[in-house]
A and B are shown apart, each in its own frame.
Chain A
Amino acid sequence: MIRLQITDYPGVKSGSRPNIKIARRDRLQMRIFTLFSVFCSLFSVCYAQPLSSTELINNAKQLDGKIITYKGEVIGEVMKRADFAWVNVNDGINAVGIWIPFSLAREITYTGSYKAKGDIIEVSGVFHRACPEHGGDLDIHAQTLRKIDSGRFTRERLNPAKRNQALILLGVLFLVWILTLFLRK
C-alpha cells in the first residue's frame, strides 16, 4: 500500500503546486518510515547482542520483563533445585543469577574457581529486576543456553620467585632466632 503511494502518486498532476506539496509530504513519510525501520532493526539487533551485567543493573527498570541475552563464565557451582538449577554467570564485572531448567544446565561441564576456568555460556531469557518468584532477586529466567567456549582445569605451577623469597626469609628467621638466643644470654 505504502509502496503504491510512493511510486504511482494517484490523482497527482505533475507541475501543479499542491501536487508538489503532496509529493514532498509522501517523500517525508517515506524517509520517516525508512528511518523507523532502520531504528527498529538496529534495536532488535542490539537485543540479540548480549547485554553486560552493568547494563542490566543500571537499566533494570527499562529491561524488566524483557527477553535479553547475557554472556559470561559460569562460576561457583550449578545448584540443582528440583527440575531447575541456579547458575551464576560472571561477565567479568558482576555475576548474575540464572534460573534455568536442569536439563539445559547439564551442558555445563566446568565452573569457575581457583582451579578451573568455567564454561563460557550465552543464555537468553526473561530478565527480572526484582523477581516475584525468587523473593526480589535480580535474575534471568533462561529459555535457551549456548555453550560458547568450554572451560578447563588450570594447572598450578610453583612460582620460583615466591619459593626463593620463602627460603631467604626462612634463613633470616633462623638467623634472628639464633641471635635472640645470644641476646638472652
Chain B
Amino acid sequence: MILKPTIHDIKIVGYYLGKIILGLACTMIIPILIGLGAGEINPALDFLIGLEIGLIFGLILTKICYTERDLNWMQGMIVVSLSWLAAMLLGAIPMYLSGHWGSYLDTCFDSMSGFATTGLTLVQNLDHISLAHNLWRHLIMFIGGQGIVIIALSFFVKGASGAFKMYVGEARDEKIMPNVMHTSRFIWLVSIVYLILGTLILGIVGALGGMKPSNAFFHGACVFMAAFDTGGFAPQSQNILYYHSFVFEIVTIAIMILGALNFKLHYHIWMGNRKEIFKNIETITLFITVIITFSITATGLTQAGIYPKAVMLFRKGFYQLISGHTGTGFQTIYARQFVNEWSHLALVGVILAMGLGGAVCSTTGAIKMLRIGIIFKALVEDIKRIILPERAIVVQKFHHIKEIFLEDKQVRGALLITLAYLVLYGLGSCVGMFYGYPFLESLFESTSAAANVGLSCGITAPSMPAVLKMTYIFQMWAGRLEFMSVFTLIGFFVAAIKGK
C-alpha cells in the first residue's frame, strides 16, 4: 500500500527548501558587487531583482513551513531534487533579464547546465555580456560543482542529522570526515584554496599571453571555476580556443584532472598519503580508460589525417578527450568540426570517454570510475570462478582508501547506476533522432548532456526544438543527481495522487 504524503512531509520539505533558496539567493550578492564595481548598473539590477525574489520565496517557505523536525531519507531526497529545480529557476532570472538569451526556457537550460556543471549553452552574443553575468555563469558552476546542498549544510543547517540524507541525495555517498558538516566545509576549503592558486596561475599565463592583467585574472577565475568543477563554460564564445595558448591548455588540463578526482583522495593527499593516488582503484581505472579511449580517438583522427603532427594531435585530440572524460566540456575546436573533420571512430572514442566520467565524490558526472572498476573486478571474479576448481574460494578485493572486499551488493549498485546512465544516454539520442538529427550526433550530444560534460557537435543551439531543450535539461538534472533523488521525487508525486 502506498502512503499518501502527510502535511508534515510537505512542511519539512518546504522548510529545508526555503533555507536552500535563501542560501542561493545570497550568492547573488557577489555579482551585484562585481556589477557595481565595474559600473554595470543594469546587470547589478538584474541580480538585485533575482536576490529579492529568492529572499521573498525563501522567507515565505521557511516561516510557513517552520518545523524543528529532522529529515527522513525520503524527505531528504525530495529536498535535494526540488532544490536543484529551484536553483535552475532562480539562477535563470538575472540571466533572462540580461537579454542575452532567446527565451526563459533557454535561460533555464543554461542555468541547469551551469549548476549541473555541464557546459552546454544557448547564450547569444556572449562576447558582449557584462562581467556580472559572465561571473554568474561560472559561479553557478562553482556552487553546483561543490553541491547546492553543501552550501546549506555549511552555512545554514546546524546540527541536523538529516543533513547526511541531503548530502547523499546530491550524489555524494562518501563522507570524508565523520561529520557531514565538516565534510562540506572541507570540500569548500579544498575548492577555495585551489581557486586562489588556479586563478593566480591562469591569470599569469593569460597576462604573459598578451591579455591585460585585470582581464587575465578575471578570465583566470572564471576558467578555473569551470575547469575545477568540470563545468565547461568559458568567458568568450570561442571557449578555450579564444586564448590560442598551449600553456593555457596544459594548465586547464591539470585543473580538469584535479576536479575529476575524489575529494576523499584530495584529503588523503593533503594529509601526506601520496601513495594513495597510485593505489586507488579510481585513479588506476581513470588512467586505463584514458589510454583506451585516447587510442580509439587517435586512431580515428589519424585515419582522417587532419592532425599530422603530434602536438596537433595532443592539443586537439587529447584535449577534447580529456575534457570529455573529466566531464568538463572545454573545446579548442568548433562544434561542427567534430562532425565535418573528425572520423566516426574518433567521435566514438570521445563518446565513450564522456560516458565513463571521473571519480565519485568529485564534481564530475557520468557512470564514474569506481563503478567501472567494481564492474571490471566482478567480471574478473566471475571468470576466475569459471576457470578455477569448484571448491576454490574466490575472493576479490579492491583498494579505495582502504582494502575493501568486493560484495554482490556493491556490484549490484554499480550495475544499476550504470544501466540507468545507459538508458538516459539512449533516451536523449532517441529524442534527437526523432527531430531528424543523425544517430552519432544525437548520441554525442545526449551523452554530453546526461554525463554533464558539455562538449557539443553543434546540435545545442537556440534554434533547436523546445522538447529537445527540455529533454537535455532533464538529462542534466537526473545525471547530476545520479537518479535516486529524482526517482524519489517521482515516487512522491505518485504517492500524492495514488496513496491512501
Contacts and interface: CB of A to CB of B under 8 A. Distances in A.
B422 interface: no
Classify the interface of chain B: helix, strand, loop or mixed: helix
A99 B244 CA distance: 10
B105 interface: no
Interface string B304-342: 001111011111100000000000000011101100110
B212 A77 contact: yes
Contact of A114 (B130, B237, B313, B316): B130
A158 B52 contact: no
B56 A57 contact: no
Contacts of A24: none
Interface in A151-174: 156, 158-159, 162-163, 165-166, 169-170, 172-173
A45 to B, nearest CB: 26
Contacts of B64: 183
B250 to A, nearest CB: 11
A62 to B, nearest CB: 11
B340 A58 contact: yes
Contacts of A163: 45
A137 interface: yes
B437 interface: no
Contacts of A166: 45, 48-49, 52
Interface string A109-131: 00011100000000000000110
Interface stretch (A2-10, A15-23, A32-40, A78-86): A78-86
A138 B334 CA distance: 8
Nearest to A131: B312
B212 A114 contact: no
Contacts, number: 139
A88 B241 CA distance: 10
B59 interface: yes
Interface in B199-235: 209-212, 215
B302 interface: no
Interface residues of B, number: 54
A128 B38 CA distance: 38
Interface string A57-71: 110110000000000
Interface of B: 39-43, 45-46, 48-49, 52-53, 55-56, 59-60, 63-64, 66, 97, 127-131, 209-212, 215, 236-238, 241-244, 246, 306-309, 311-316, 332-334, 336-337, 340-341
18 contacts: A57-B340, A79-B210, A80-B210, A88-B236, A90-B237, A130-B316, A132-B308, A132-B312, A136-B312, A156-B41, A158-B42, A159-B42, A162-B42, A166-B48, A169-B49, A169-B53, A183-B66, A184-B63
